[in-house]
Chain A
Amino acid sequence: MIAIIDYGVGNLFSLKSSFAAIGTDAYVTRDPAAVAAADKIILPGVGAFGDAAKKLRDCGMAEVVTAEARRGKPLLGICLGMQLLFEKSYEYGEHEGLGLIRGEIRPIAEQISEGLKIPHIGWNALQFTEKPSRLFRCIKNGDHVYFVHSFSGTGCAESVIATAEYGAPLVSAVEDGSVFGCQFHPEKSGDVGLNILRAFCSMEVGKC
């Protein structure tokens, strides 16, 4: 069973539906015990980092997610959920993340040339890095996925598995052992997105 963490940020309807579409049982939960009991964990999220990080801690989820991930339980962070895996974010201030992925979240505006629209919104092509990826084993280099974000990961070179070109190569996905993160929305990326979720669902606890 897959636990989709509900900590009061964003709408989980499409995410839940996408697991149903690939024939996987997934439940949305606010209960840390249910997350500890699941085979795999999805950490979703939209909105502001500081607010989301606080909510995740206040409901006791941050602790469980970190502990389960350190034990090798597959964890996938999506959009803001991926950013929360990082050590720190500079979105309106300075906020601490879960520290499961080394690196920091910084404004896209600092990373790209002027004149490009922010947020980075729309379909963009994934450019795989040299790092072998388990998350992307069912899709191919150059496949398009759907992005909506104004901040992105930096200083995380050793875990980046894909970037997307937008005035600079923006970090689009990370993987470190059984911790995975997608800056884009697999649940809104058509068949490519569903194939990424399929690959995640087929992973086993503790195997890297």
Chain B
Amino acid sequence: MITKRIIPCLDVRNGRVVKGVNFEGLADVSSPVELGQYYSRCGADELVFYDITASAEGRALFTDILCEVARTIFIPLTVGGGINTVDDFDRVLKCGADKVSVNSGAIRNPKLVYEAAKKYGDQCVVLSADIKRVDGVFRVFAKGGRENTGMEAIEWIRQCVSMGVGEVVVNSIDTDGVKNGFDLEMLAEVCDAVNVPVIASGGAGCMEDFTTLFKTLPKVDAGLAASIFHFGEVKIKDLKTKLAGENIPVRI
């Protein structure tokens, strides 16, 4: 049986991890390579690296770092941030990324999804959707959640999947940072709408939030989080042991 995936997400600016705080046995918590290796050792099933650099220099630094990461970590790597063209796909895939996550780039140019899927295969194209309720309707937000596009979220996701997206990350802006659990209502709607893997993001505050997620929504394939892993509030090893104890299939 396919296991449920636990995915830490690392934000990288100018080649350094942002938010890396407190890790036992780790000399440099802001090194993407060291932090990635640490998570890989702890049992992370996949790593997401998000490049939040704005400058060209920072971007070049990011691809160097990515190569370094891919040279030493042998689990799937997803890369996002600043992906606007097929050339951007090419740039990060050459450095060892397995999947590429698009967000604002796909909103600006929906053809990007189709072109990238045709060239690299559906499994390579991940849609990252930032979603927020506006007057009771799920809306897609762009530019890191700052701008309401006015698009209805479920329809947007369905459209992207029909164009070749192979996996969807659902970031609920409403639950993000609240640490009171994943947005089960939003996730349920996405799971009903598409038949590709769905990754839940935003809202995890403790281990129970993951158990609830996978028990309530068996169609969700993975749980993604950043700060609770980075701050050590939830340890991936303990989380997986707990999930296994609750009969949720995980890789241990």
- Can you offer 24 A-B residue contacts whose CB atoms are under 8 A? A11-B94, A11-B96, A13-B70, A13-B95, A13-B96, A14-B74, A14-B96, A14-B98, A17-B74, A20-B71, A21-B74, A117-B221, A120-B2, A121-B123, A121-B197, A123-B2, A124-B1, A125-B1, A144-B3, A165-B1, A188-B76, A190-B74, A190-B75, A194-B74
Complex Cα spacing A203 to B71, Å: 24
Is B121 on the interface with A (CB-CB < 8 A)? Answer: yes
Q: How large is the interface on B (under 10, 10 to 19, 20 to 34, 35 or more residues)?
A: 20 to 34
Given contacts A11-B93, A13-B70, A122-B197, contact A146 B75 (CB under 8 A): yes
Cβ-defined partner of B2 (8 Å) among A17, A21, A122: A122
Complex Cα spacing A20 to B196, Å: 34
Chain A residues near B1 (CB, 8 Å)? 124-125, 165-166
Is A155 on the interface with B (CB-CB < 8 A)? Answer: no
Assess whether B195 is in contact with A17, with CB atoms less than 8 Å apart.
no
Assess whether A148 is in contact with B3, with CB atoms less than 8 Å apart.
no
Complex Cα spacing A125 to B2, Å: 8
Chain B residues near A165 (CB, 8 Å)? 1
Assess whether A117 is in contact with B196, with CB atoms less than 8 Å apart.
yes
Chain A residues near B221 (CB, 8 Å)? 117, 122
Instruction: Give the 10 A-B residue pairs with the shortest CB-CB distance, closest first.
Output: A144-B251, A122-B2, A13-B96, A123-B251, A17-B71, A123-B3, A148-B123, A14-B96, A188-B76, A124-B2
Is A178 on the interface with B (CB-CB < 8 A)? Answer: no
Q: How many of A's residues come within 8 Å of B, CB to CB? A: 30
Which residues of A1-60 have CB atoms within 8 Å of chain B's CB atoms? Answer: 11, 13-14, 17-18, 20-21, 46-47
Is B5 on the interface with A (CB-CB < 8 A)? Answer: yes
